[in-house]
């Protein structure tokens, strides 16, 4: 069963550059302005690094 990275927009403060983007080893996360990050599911390897790093738990691997 494959997991999928999901962004919980309600948990994201959307008032700063997303710190989790920097920890993604395959650059699967992007952000426009201070919006919640977007996931490129074609690039995502489902490693979970970004979800573990997100202080607000807005990124969830499920």
Query: Quick one: which H or E segment has residue 5?
Result: strand 5-7
Domains, the chain: 5-61 (3.30.70.20)
Q: How far apart are CA 51 and CA 49, in angstroms?
A: 6
Tell me what pLDDT residue 2 has.
83
Q: State how beta strands 38-39 and 29-30 pair.
A: antiparallel
List the beta bridge partners of residue 39: 29
Task: Profile the chain (62 residues) by mean pLDDT over runs of 10 residues.
Answer: 91 96 98 98 96 97 94
Q: What is the maximum span of the chain, computed from C-alpha positions, in angstroms?
A: 34
User: By three-state DSSP, how is residue 52 classified?
Assistant: helix
- CB of 10 within 8 A of CB of 60? no
pTM higher than 0.85: yes
């Amino acid at each position: 069963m494959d997991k999928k990275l999901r962004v919980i927009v309600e948990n994201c403060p959307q008032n700063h550059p997303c710190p989790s983007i920097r920890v993604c080893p395959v650059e699967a996360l992007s952000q426009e302005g201070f919006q919640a990050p977007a996931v490129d599911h074609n690039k995502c390897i489902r490693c979970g690094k970004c979800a573990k790093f997100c202080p607000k738990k807005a990124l969830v691997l499920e």
